Every structure is written in structure tokens, then in C-alpha cells.
């Protein structure tokens, strides 16, 4: 046992005395020690129930012959951090989570791990740690929130943000907004649409690192407690069979996840997180992989914000495995990949059933024949940009309009809510990338304001920042290179014409090469927005969005 390094023999007698101080029995010190990484806290609705999940995991581990030991991971609620300086501290936690988990797991020589995450950066951060540590590891999330109900319709957090825009447009009263406040987020759990948290928890199943239902069983269902106990059983089975994370998290598994992403219509943030996870296994994931995968992968689901269905509906329809079965039946998945069940993908999904063809469209009747995400390139984004194609209305798939340029999210929101943005405009928000932000803030407030103002089918938004999974419309993010390093987005001027062609994966600034070169010669780097603390160190090390905003390893 790996944990014997910290517990066995005369040399480790001092350590055993400390285990005694923890209440370990001599019998327990002879059993595998399983770290349970708990992201429980009292500020994130998706994490407030995780203490219950962790207790169930502990029971499962103990029943299966292991010794469960809990240690923490941090998590930020993007919804609470949205729209102010706090959002700069969201994406950057992904690396803190991965690094701190690595430190705890190696320092204490755990034999295996169960990761209990839920929200946006918590899941990929722990997947990165799992790949890095290469131990027997199982994921079990806190689960999604149930949808809210307003006016007889299901609603979610994206409806809440759009209600604020509607109020600014004069189409909602303050009482209407408060009715949304009281009803759109009715339970604990990760917000109920196919936003980033739920996207990543579903893709954890597609990667093979979570049991069936990890991404879809609602947080408030007792079924999730049973799932947590089974995660405890599963990690001990993996330990006994010698199955480790990197045997599961392979190049093929990551490409499976990208394919499932296209079918589900996941958040654009997956195009930050999949490259970062791939980096941990030594796989150089290029975001342009998305386009050929998209070309052959039908979009089968339109969950909020793309459509009127929610995570509970996907769960009842058969969940992620039912989607995977649809894809496998037409040869789009590698079904030989190993999973945490000890079985292959093909063995897992062979009996999966699509119970609701309106929630999970069959492959012969998809929403679209192409996948949910697209990577656009051109002289405005030479290294690429990302759009959630499945959440773009048909009339905005091809668009050309004048640039309305803003150097911060706050300035853009003021203009949108002040009625200064009109039909046909292309809103450009720059200096909000990984380095320039720093921290690559989500732009849910401006996209929701555009939708709430009734401009969702006539105005595009382009940024070197990123979008919430709750954003919809022609919202193009991760523009690379970013403005802070002198990328072409830094050279856009008010009124420049910008052309967007999503079906053909193109984004162009209608300015001559000669004019762009002249502007580039005059461009000067901006003073850093943050000059102290973690964000300053992060800005100095982080890559652009097309590389997954990973941290560069310093030369030694």
C-alpha cells in the first residue's frame, strides 16, 4: 500500500502516533487509506449539500474495506461572483484546486481518492489533479438543482439574469424581477440548465471518471446518496484491480468527451477545461479539434439556455449514457475505453435506453446535424475563438455589423442598459482575457442584458473573456491572442465592420492588412489591472484561452 510510506515500520512510528491522535485504530492502519476531497461550503448552493454526499461516500468506502479520510477543496459560485471584481477569482481557482489536492494527496500518501465536486472550476480542477496523481479515483458530484417555476413555466438562473435586462428595457417591473428571485433557484445543487457545472459533471461520465447519473441525478434525490455510496464501493474495486486515473483519462476518452459535448450542447467553458485536463496527461489538445468532431456529431439536446428542458428532464430521459448510446450506435465513440466501473464504455452503455426522444433527440432526428460548439478563426482571432452554436438563433449564424468597442465588461453593460446598442451592432469587450482581466471573467451580465433588451436575435458579442454556460445568442469568446498581448482584438476601432460566419467557422475584421499593421505599430501594452497577490502571479504565467488558460511551467 502506498500509505505504508506514511504508516508502516519503526521509521514511521512518529507518524503512527499522529494517526493515533486522529483516532485511527491499529486495524485501520492496515487498510487502504482513501482520501475524500470534499468541496463542501456554505456559500455555493451547489455545494451546501456536499457534506451529505461525503458521509455517504465514507460509508461506501468503509463497507468496501477502506479507511475514508476527508480533506477540503475550495469552490467559487460564479453566479454570486458575477458582475464585479469577484469574477476575476473564479477561473483562477481551477489551478489552486488542482495544486492543493496534489499537495494533500502526496503529502499524506493516500492509496485512492474520491472527488466530490460540483460547480464550475471545482470539477475540472479535480479532474486535473486526478490525472496528475494517477491513483484509483472516482468522481461523484453534488448534483444539479431542480428547475424553478415562474408563471407556470420552468425557469433557471439564466432566466434571472435576463429578467434584469428586461427590467432595464422597461418590459418587467421590480415586482416581476423579485418573483424571479424567489422562484428560479428552488433547491440546492448546480444551476439547473446545461451550464458549465453540469456540462463538466456530464463530461466526467463521458470521460469514464464518474458513475452513471453523476451529471444528472438531482441534488435533492436520495438516489444521489446511493450513488455516493456506490462511488465508495467503486473506488475500492478500482484499488483492488489496480485501475488508476490515467488508464481511464486517455486521449481517446477525452475525444469521447468532446463528442458527447457536441451532442449535449455543453458550455463553451468546456473548451477551456478539456485542453487543461488533456495537458495533465501529456495530450496537446487543439481547440480546432472541435470543428471536425462537430461536423459529424449531431446535436441531440437543447437544455436551458438553448431550449426549454433542464437537467432533471435529461436524467429522466436516460441521462448521459442514453446520449452516449445514441452516438455509439452510429460509430462516433470509442467504446473500448476503460471506466471507473471496471468495464468499458461499450459494456456500460449497451443497455441504455432513450426514454424521451423530445429531450434526447434520436440521431436520425437531431436538432442539427452538427454539434453544439464551433471554433471560429480569421484575422480577428488567428488562434481561434469559441461559440455555443446550438444556442445561436438561425438569423445570427451569419452576421455583419459595426464594432462597438469597450475595454471592460462594466462599460459594455452601461451602454447596453443605457440603450446605446442597436440592432446589427457587434459588441466587442476586450482586455478581459486570462492575462488582461486578469482571470478571464464570464460575460453573463452583458449577454443577458442583450437578450433582456430584446436584441438577442440582432446583436453579437465578441470578447477575449469567456461566457457562462447560461449565456445564449451570438456570443463569441476566448478570442486568441487576447488584447493584453497585442492580439488583433486590441486593434479594433469603433465602427469597424466585423463579419461572423459560424457555419463556415470564420470571424473577420473588415480592415486591410496594411491598416492593421499600422495600428499594431502604434499599439502599446496596457498597465496591468492587478499588481499584487495571486492574480498578479496568475497573469504572469497564464496562456491565452485557445490553450485552455493553463499555467506555463517556469523553466528551472
Query: Which residues are known to be catalytic?
Result: 468
Can you give the C-alpha Rg of the chain in angstroms? 23
Collect contacts of 343-352 with beta carbons under 8 A, ≥24 apart. Answer: 345/208, 345/256, 348/212, 348/321, 349/321, 349/324, 349/325, 350/325, 352/318, 352/319, 352/321, 352/322, 352/324, 352/325
Encode burial over 127-146: b for 16+ CB neighbours within 10 A, e otherwise. Answer: bbbbbbbebbbbbbbbbbbb
* DSSP code at position 493: -
Residue 316 CB neighbours (<10 A): 14
- Cβ–Cβ < 8 Å for 198, 248: no
The DSSP string of 322-381 is: HHHHHHHTTT-S-TT-B-TTSSBHHHHHTT-----TTTS--TTS-SBSS-SEEEEEETTE
- Cell numbers at residue 410, please? 462594466
Angle between helix 319-328 and 251-264 (nearest 10): 100
H or E element at residue 112: strand 112-116
Q: Three-class SS of residue 483?
A: helix
CA dist., res. 266 & res. 303, Å (int): 9
CA–CA separation, 443 and 477 (whole Å): 9
Residue 524's CB is within 10 A of a number of other CB atoms, namely 7
Amino acid at each position: 500500500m502506498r500509505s505504508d510510506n506514511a504508516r508502516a515500520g519503526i521509521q514511521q512510528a512518529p507518524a503512527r502516533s499522529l494517526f493515533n491522535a486522529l483516532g485511527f485504530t491499529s486495524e485501520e492502519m492496515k487498510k487502504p487509506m482513501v482520501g475524500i476531497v470534499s468541496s463542501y461550503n456554505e456559500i455555493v448552493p451547489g455545494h451546501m449539500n456536499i457534506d451529505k454526499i461525503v458521509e455517504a461516500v465514507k460509508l461506501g468506502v468503509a463497507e468496501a474495506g477502506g479507511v475514508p479520510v476527508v480533506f477540503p477543496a475550495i469552490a467559487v459560485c460564479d453566479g454570486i461572483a458575477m458582475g464585479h471584481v469577484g469574477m476575476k477569482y473564479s477561473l483562477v481557482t481551477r489551478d489552486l484546486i488542482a495544486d492543493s489536492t496534489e499537495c494533500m494527496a502526496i503529502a499524506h500518501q493516500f492509496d485512492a481518492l474520491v472527488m466530490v465536486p460540483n460547480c464550475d472550476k471545482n470539477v475540472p480542477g479535480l479532474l486535473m489533479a486526478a490525472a496528475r496523481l494517477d491513483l484509483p479515483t472516482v468522481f461523484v458530484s453534488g448534483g444539479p438543482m431542480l428547475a424553478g417555476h415562474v408563471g407556470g413555466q420552468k425557469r433557471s438562473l439564466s432566466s434571472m439574469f435576463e429578467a434584469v435586462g428586461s427590467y432595464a428595457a422597461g418590459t418587467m417591473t421590480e415586482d416581476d424581477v423579485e418573483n424571479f428571485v424567489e422562484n428560479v433557484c428552488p433547491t440546492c445543487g448546480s444551476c439547473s440548465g446545461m451550464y458549465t457545472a453540469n456540462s463538466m459533471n456530464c463530461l466526467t461520465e463521458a470521460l469514464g471518471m464518474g458513475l452513471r447519473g453523476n451529471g444528472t441525478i438531482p441534488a435533492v434525490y436520495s438516489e444521489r446518496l446511493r450513488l455516493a455510496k456506490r462511488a465508495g464501493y467503486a473506488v475500492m474495486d478500482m484499488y483492488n484491480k489496480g485501475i488508476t486515473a490515467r488508464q481511464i483519462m486517455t486521449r481517446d476518452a477525452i475525444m469521447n468527451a468532446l463528442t458527447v459535448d457536441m451532442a449535449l450542447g455543453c458550455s463553451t467553458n468546456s473548451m477551456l477545461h478539456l485542453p487543461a485536463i488533456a495537458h495533465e496527461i501529456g495530450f496537446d489538445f487543439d481547440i480546432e479539434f472541435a470543428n471536425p468532431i462537430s461536423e459529424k456529431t449531431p446535436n441531440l439536446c437543447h437544455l436551458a439556455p438553448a431550449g426549454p428542458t433542464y437537467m432533471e428532464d435529461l436524467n429522466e430521459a436516460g441521462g448521459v449514457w442514453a446520449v452516449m448510446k445514441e452516438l455509439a450506435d452510429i460509430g462516433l465513440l470509442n467504446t473500448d475505453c476503460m471506466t471507473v466501473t471496471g468495464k468499458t464504455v461499450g459494456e456500460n452503455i449497451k443497455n441504455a435506453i432513450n426514454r424521451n426522444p423530445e429531450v434526447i433527440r434520436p440521431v436520425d432526428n437531431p436538432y442539427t446535424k452538427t454539434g453544439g460548439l464551433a471554433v471560429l478563426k480569421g484575422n480577428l482571432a488567428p488562434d481561434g475563438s469559441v461559440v455555443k452554436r446550438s444556442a445561436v438563433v438561425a438569423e445570427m449564424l451569419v452576421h455583419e455589423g459595426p464594432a462597438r468597442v469597450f475595454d471592460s465588461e462594466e462599460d459594455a453593460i452601461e451602454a447596453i442598459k443605457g440603450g446605446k446598442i442597436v440592432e446589427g451592432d457587434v459588441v466587442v469587450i476586450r482586455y478581459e482575457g486570462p492575462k488582461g482581466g486578469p482571470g478571464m471573467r464570464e460575460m453573463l451580465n452583458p449577454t443577458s442584458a442583450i437578450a433582456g433588451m430584446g436584441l438577442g436575435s440582432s446583436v453579437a458579442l465578441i470578447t477575449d473573456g469567456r461566457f457562462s454556460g447560461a449565456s445564449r445568442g451570438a456570443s463569441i469568446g476566448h478570442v486568441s491572442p487576447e488584447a493584453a498581448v497585442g492580439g488583433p482584438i486590441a486593434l479594433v476601432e469603433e465602427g469597424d465592420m466585423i463579419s461572423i460566419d459560424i457555419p463556415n467557422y470564420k470571424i473577420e475584421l473588415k480592415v486591410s492588412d496594411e491598416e492593421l499593421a499600422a495600428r499594431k505599430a502604434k499599439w502599446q501594452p496596457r498597465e496591468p489591472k492587478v499588481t499584487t497577490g495571486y492574480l498578479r502571479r496568475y497573469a504572469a504565467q497564464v496562456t491565452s484561452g485557445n490553450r485552455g488558460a493553463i499555467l506555463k511551467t517556469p523553466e528551472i
